[in-house]
Amino acid sequence: EVQLVQSGAEVKKPGESLKISCKGSGYSFTSYWIGWVRQMPGKGLEWMGIIYPGDSDTRYSPSFQGQVTISADKSISTAYLQWSSLKASDTAMYYCARQDEVGYAIWGQGTMVTVSS
Amino acid sequence: SYELTQPPSVSVSPGQTARITCSGDALPKKYAYWYQQKSGQAPVLVIYEDSKRPSGIPERFSGSSSGTMATLTISGAQVEDEADYYCYSTDSSGNHNWVFGGGTKLTVL
């Protein structure tokens, strides 16, 4: 079964760093782009960026460039989204999704990140 | 930055046809994709490449695109179709700059 499994919910303080993960299984992890999507509480979906684990080619939405870092470790079929200094406004649900021939057909279950002092 | 514009809400009675629009300057050249998101769940792809339906998506879901507007049509909407719907596409820069529309809340009652 093709699936993406994300790491668990996080509660952090402003200024702390964080790295969340998205592990792919059931397919060739290096052959498909993995995208990250933010959903702030009660708001819509926002495309953050995308990575091709085969060669780590990474693209960012202009809105998120410089705010987050997307990476991948193909040896363990895992993509990451990380922050160096969290803000309260980073509180959101974060989804990873596999981009294939038909679009984002496979999604992770989401990781809730709460940033509060 | 590139934007896709959707109406905030659409409301229909069960059995009626719901149409959700998405406008964007690059849509004449770029495909639109549609995602359904029910409360508390991850999004689900319902239409890709303007009008194609993934396996497992009911036939009542269809898509079309003309000029700068893409449309998701739900023919004979069911109560279980009540959800947020998002269009998704890219600008014409070729730089992988993808965006979601603001989302449309479909109410079926």
Q: What's the token pair of residue A17?
A: 């760093």
Collapse the DSSP code of A54 into the 3-class scheme (helix H, G, I; strand E, B; otherwise coil) and give the result: coil
Report whether pLDDT(B95) > 80.
no
pLDDT tens, residue by residue, B18-59: 999 999 999 999 999 999 999 999 999 999 999 999 999 999
How many CB pairs (< 8 A) connect A and B?
A: 58
Q: Cα distance from B15 to chain A (closest Cα, Å)?
A: 27
Instruction: Give the H/E segment covering residue A113.
Output: strand A111-115
Interface subset of A 68-97, CB within 8 angstroms of B: 95, 97
Q: Report chain B residues whose CB lies below 8 A from the CB of A6.
A: none
| Residue B106 phi, psi dihedral angles, 5° rounding | -95, 120
Enumerate residue ranges in chain A where pLDDT < 50: none
- Min CA distance, B95 vs chain A (Å)? 8
Contact A5, A25 (CB under 8 A): yes
Q: What is the mean pLDDT of chain B?
A: 95
Whether B106 and B18 have beta carbons less than 8 Å apart is answered as yes
pLDDT at residue B96 greater than cutoff 80? no
When the pLDDT of each residue in chain A is averaged and rounded to a whole number, the result is: 96
